[in-house]
Every structure is written in C-alpha cells, then in structure tokens.
Homo-oligomer: A and B are copies of this chain.
Amino acid sequence: MSVKIKDLAKQLNLSVATISKALKDSHEISPETKQRVFELAKKLNYTPNPYASSLRKRSSKTIAVVLPEVADSFFSLAINGIESVAQEKGYHVLIYLTHESFEREEAILKEFQSGRVDGILISVSGETRSSDHIKEVITAGMPLVFFDRVCEDVETAKIITNDFESSYTATCHLLKAGCKKIAYLSTSSALSINNKRMEGYKQAVADSGIKEKTTRIVSCDSNTEGNYKIIFELLKNKNRPDGLIASVEKLTTPIYLACESLKLSIPREIKLVSFTNLQAALILNPTLTTITQPAFEMGKAAAAVLFKSLEKTNFNLKKETVIVPSVLDARNSSKN
C-alpha cells in the first residue's frame, strides 16, 4: 500500500493541508516544518499521486485564456498583451470562447481537470452567477488568474480596472457638459464590472448639483438588432435622456444608428460616452468620447502574474490584486 499525505500528517501530528503545502515548498510553512516533512516523505518513500503530479509537472507549456468573445476590441487587445508575455516564455496560448454562456464556461473548465494546460486566465461570462466550477479547478492545483470580469468570492489573483471611478468620471463629464437626464445602458447584471460601472454612475448623479437626482438604468442585454430597438424606443420618447453612458462597446453602433433614424444630433441633443477600445472611435461621426481600458496592459499583467506562479512554487496567487486604471478620452460626442 502506498503512503498517502494523511499518513505523513498523522505521524507528524500536522494537518493534511500543512503537509500538502510543505510538499509544494509553500512560503506559508516554516523551513523547519518543511525539513521534517521532506525527511519523513523520503523515509516512507512517499510519491505524490500521479494526477496531482502531472499538474505540478506543468509540461504542456500551454496556458488557456477563457473569454466571452473576441468581437470586442478589449478582448482582442488583451489577448495580444497575454501573448506578448507567453511568447517570451516559450508558451502556447489556447483561446476558449464561452460566448457568454455559463454552461460552456463550465464545460471548458471541466476540460482543464485533465491537465491539458498549465494555467488559466479567465474573464467570466455574462451568465456566471456561481463560481463552484472555478473553485474546483483551483482546488485541483491549477493556477488561475482573473482579468477584467472576476468572481469576487474566489480567492486568487485578479487584474482589474477602476470601473467604479471610470463610470463616476464619465458621468461627471456629461453633467459638466450640461446633461440633466443621463441614462446608463447596462448589460449583464451578473457581471462585477457592470455593477461597479452602474454604482459609479449612480454615485455621480447622487453627488451632483442637479435638481432631479433620478437615475435611469436601461438593460441592453440583447443582440445588435434587439439593442437597436431598445435604444430607439428609449430615445423616441418625449422624456428621453440627454446623455448616455454605454457600458459596453457593442452598444456604440446601435446608439449612433438610432440617433440617425430619429434625427437626434450628437452631441447637440444627446451626448454620449462609451466604454470601448474601438480604434474607429477616432473616425466616427462625431468622434466618440470613450472610457479607454488598458486592455493590452491588463492582459500583460495577468499573464505576468500567472507565469510568476508557474515559475515559483512559493508564490501566493491569492495576494495579487492589480488595478490598472482606465482613461477618459474626451472627443466630440460629449462636447458642450
């Protein structure tokens, strides 16, 4: 019968977790304890179980990037940031798309249990309301780093941007430009980033000097045609907003098209700020004011943290939260 971690734990009067961490050379365990564990493991001829070992060997030289889509410029730029680091390290990058489906995200993470990859970078789907599938893969010994869209309740590294502050800034920018009735166009209410952006908007309205401090959240969690209809209905209303905050890039085209159909002039009659990294923001009619996210830098930072944990056994992923700030690029769509 082979020796197990619990046998070592019993003999040394330590917990299974401590033995496990000691065997992984964790910095959380004192050198003295590690020494005792290593000596007994050697004496009893302990060998780690093949599954855990195959994960620890990290021989696939591959990392996985799990994301909702690639049609959004944030994600395509983030991928470039990730690959810039991975290439330097001689690693392959596999991209898995969830298409905003929780079911697909679960199925993809299950795949990783087979040790196909050495580590995971993930930005969760718009449907993801539970994090058990992510915790499971981490428990199995797989290093995992969130970027942009995170699960708050999972203890691992997170590379995020300042969504609350960005949205607060965007709202103040519109208020300063003379807007009195700003609407926030939201997407998935499950997403941490959407909620933070929504809170930033609400706070800015609450802090403002405007008389009627009512906020207006419009859910635009549909496809292009569906969102066009929602925005068209919103804007054709007599009591329409005079300012819009688009929380995601894909709302940009439907907003411009709806304004065109309704002959609403941007920025004269309605002002607009959009969360987007679209290069074409510079050549739209009018040019688009954006909250520009540090997409490439966030991808790079996420990959850098992941590689740190792949290279150093005593690196603690849990401690890492990096906030890379976004920037407001004021252009004509929000001009006074």
B83–A76 CB distance below 8 A: no
CB of A277 to closest CB in B, whole Å: 10
A224 closest partner in B (C-beta): B279
Question: CA A75 – CA B71 in complex, angstroms?
Answer: 9
Interface size range of chain A in the complex = 35 or more
CB of A78 to closest CB in B, whole Å: 10
CB of A94 to closest CB in B, whole Å: 5
CB of A13 to closest CB in B, whole Å: 45
Q: A96-B92, A257-B282, A285-B285 are in contact. Are A76 and B80 (CB under 8 A)?
A: no
In the bound complex, residues from chain B placing their C-beta under 8 Å from that of A80 are 71, 99
Question: CA A107 – CA B93 in complex, angstroms?
Answer: 12
Q: Mark A53-70, 1 if CB is under 8 A from B, else 0.
A: 000000000000000011
Interface SS majority for chain A? helix
B92–A95 CB distance below 8 A: no
Q: A70-B79, A76-B71 are in contact. Are A253 and B283 (CB under 8 A)?
A: yes
User: Does A256 lie at the interface of the complex (its beta carbon under 8 Å from any beta carbon of B)?
Assistant: yes
Choose among A83, A97, A104, A284 the residue with the greatest number of B CB atoms under 10 Å from its CB: A97
Question: CA A282 – CA B283 in complex, angstroms?
Answer: 12
User: Does A252 lie at the interface of the complex (its beta carbon under 8 Å from any beta carbon of B)?
Assistant: yes
In the bound complex, residues from chain B placing their C-beta under 8 Å from that of A198 are none
Tell which of B95, B260, B280, B284 touches A94, judged by Cβ atoms closer than 8 Å: B95
A selection of 13 A-B contacts at a CB cut-off of 8 Å is A70-B70, A70-B75, A71-B80, A79-B97, A83-B97, A87-B104, A94-B94, A95-B96, A253-B282, A280-B280, A280-B284, A283-B285, A285-B285
Q: Which residues in A have some Cβ–Cβ distance to B below 8 Å?
A: 69-71, 73, 75-77, 79-80, 83, 87, 92-97, 99, 104, 107-108, 111, 116, 224, 252-253, 256-257, 260, 278-280, 282-286
